[in-house]
Amino acid sequence: MRFEGPYGKDVQDAGSSRRVAVAAAVRRGLALLGADDPPPLDAPPGLVAADYKGLLEFAVKQRTMWTGTGIAHRPWFYRRADGSLDSPQRQAIGLHLAQACCRGALIGAQGVAAGDALLAKRFLAAASALYYTGAYHAVAGLLGAHGRVLVVDVHGPPLMVREGTGTWYGHAQLEPHPKVVCAILRRRGGWSFEPRHRSHVARWNEIRQCLGVHDPLPTYLLRALRYLLEDWSERLDPATLLERGLPRLASVRHQALYEGFGYDDESFDQQVNREGMGDLTVRCRELRRLGIALIGECISATAPLLRHAPAGSHAAASARLGVILPAFEFGPTVPLADNPHVGEGVAACARWLGFPGG
């Protein structure tokens, strides 16, 4: 499947072994939710139980996947004796990868739609900020295609929290406590977990980690980085483009939000120097192109989730929690008329979640 737009064949859903492995990991996670029967007796059947003490003891000692946050919402982590990170929900991490991509597609499309509305009114700084935001969320798709998912709001092992007469589940802090955990799909289908910093630069730099030195950069990413670095003669090699261009991409947000600058640099300089009227909307259009391409990646990575957990199924009802929480705004379906394949993919995600207009 290809997602094509007016900018060429930006996104390819190649039948590579890596994508096949990611799809298999998604199916393994869904298999844990697919039955209407409760979980086996050796695991607590849900997120809440009357026997808090017994459930907590089971969770901490046996590292069950069924306690605490649960496999349908967010994984939780603990540290092994050697200090490395692990999760009792490692079998379900593929599900979380697809959930993150579904969420990235919807929030990304909302950002693009908001950018379009602002661009139409010539609010270029605000439009570039929203296009950047769309791409920032949708980068989950490119990472997902390479078997990586960033887990934010990291939880440690479940524990009981008592306050007044109430008792509920909370989560312990890990020591040291990472802001983000990157789950990485290994060649044999297992997962490893690495701590990450939480920042815009760190999120974009994860692309450098997942693309090997011999992996070609996606066309849409190559174009965006060359534009940002003004590498018109294509002198910079891919490694240098990533090293210099990804931090530059993160700085676009700061320029737009805090400096009120959303123009194309070269065109702006032309006007200042009275060298002619340049097109000030180029930056917005390049960021929009990048965002739509990354949304296409999200849709591709989400496909196994929608295919194997059809709307209305027991698995879908459970899996949707990991997409809609924490809650986010999503209005009528974003048409993306200039790229109907991506637009329909976004609409399919919305319909699966039961959002209005999906």
Which tens digits make up the pLDDT trace of 103-128?
A: 999 999 999 999 999 999 999 999 99
Dump strand ranges (E) for the chain. Answer: 2-5, 8-12, 78-79, 85-86, 148-152, 158-163, 166-171, 180-185, 191-196
Query: Does pLDDT of 244 surpass 70?
Result: yes
In whole angstroms, how far apart are CA 49 and each of 59, 167, 169? 12, 11, 10
Tokens of 192: 């490893």
Domain limits, the chain:
2-353
Tokens of 146: 């390479």
Length of the chain: 358
| Contact predicate 17/354, CB 8 Å | no
What pLDDT does residue 276 have? 61
| Contact predicate 329/109, CB 8 Å | no
Band the pLDDT of 334: cuts 50, 70, 90: low
- Of residues 164 and 212, more confidence is placed in 164
Whose structure tokens read 């210099």?
244
Beta-bridge mates of residue 183: 149, 193
Can you tell me the distance from the alpha carbon of 160 to that of 52, in angstroms, rounded to the nearest whole number? 7
Predicted TM-score of the model (pTM): 0.86
